[in-house]
Structure 1
Amino acid sequence: MFGINGAEFVVLLVVAVIVIGPERLPRYAEQLGAFVRTARGFLKDAKSRVDEELGPEVGDVDWSKLDPRQYDPRRIVREALLDDDDLMGTSSRPRSASPVPPPPPAPVDADGVRVPAPFDDEAT
């Protein structure tokens, strides 16, 4: 929590005892405990209100599908472009071996000899 390990926490406690002093430390610890209890009550109340507003169907949502780390644009495009039958593997269309179209034929001159493709030095 907050990136503080055990040794750093002990150092902070020692500094707090020195700065605050042993006379005022119990009162501040009591105030901190009351603040933590109040904050937990607010969070519990907010959670119950959110659950009440969203209703029981929010429990049926698979939140792991909405994880941005699971985002794969290729899968999303593939699913959007395929028919529902294609997803089930029962498509009436024959599947091609490769979904990528073949490259265009190389340019040829008037004698039918292949020439290098034109080069555009202004293209970026």
Structure 2
Amino acid sequence: MFNGLSFEKLLLVGVIAVFLLGPDKLPSYAAKLGRLVRTLRDYADGAKVRMKEEMGPEFDEVDWKKLDPRQYDPRRIIREALLDDAPAAAAPVVKPVSRPEPAYLSRKKDAVQPDAPQDLSTPYDSEST
């Protein structure tokens, strides 16, 4: 969490705190900081205990490092998906049924009497536009 925090940087922060707060207030603020860190740690431990209680024995089976968002690498995920050893079952190819003419025209021909002239144009409603 604090990977870039070295001893020199902490010492510099401490020196700045001594100058800003003064030697009178520094011990009380250090005690408050200690209590805050302890409280946050207790909250985190409580959340962990509650998760263990709610998940039951499955809690130990979960690989928490795998769920860490810092481990997310889209290139690795795509590479693993493409180089998967198990070939995926190919879906059967369904060919569309070809008709010699559109369904609308075939229905229209069935409905039209053979003696009447055939109107093969698309129906148009002038009030709808």
Ranges in structure 2 where 5+ consecutive residues have no aligned partner: 90-129
Letter in 2 for 1:81: A
Aligned to 2:98: none
User: Distance in 2 between the 1:47 and 1:57 partners?
Assistant: 13
The size of the alignment, in residue pairs, is 82
**1:18-97 equivalence runs, <5 A:** 18-63=19-64, 68-69=72-73, 71=77, 72-76=80-84, 78-79=85-86, 81=88
Letter in 2 for 1:43: A
Question: Aligned in 2, Cα 1:44/1:29: closer, same or farther, shift over 3 Å?
Answer: same
User: Distance in 2 between the 1:49 and 1:80 partners?
Assistant: 41
The alignment yields a C-alpha RMSD, in angstroms, of 2.6
Ranges in structure 1 where 5+ consecutive residues have no aligned partner: 83-124
| Structure with greater Cα Rg | 2
Residues 6-25 of structure 1 deviation map (CA, whole Å, 9 limit, x = unaligned): 11111110000011000000
Aligned to 2:97: none
When the two structures are superposed, what TM-score results if normalisation uses the length of structure 1? Answer: 0.55
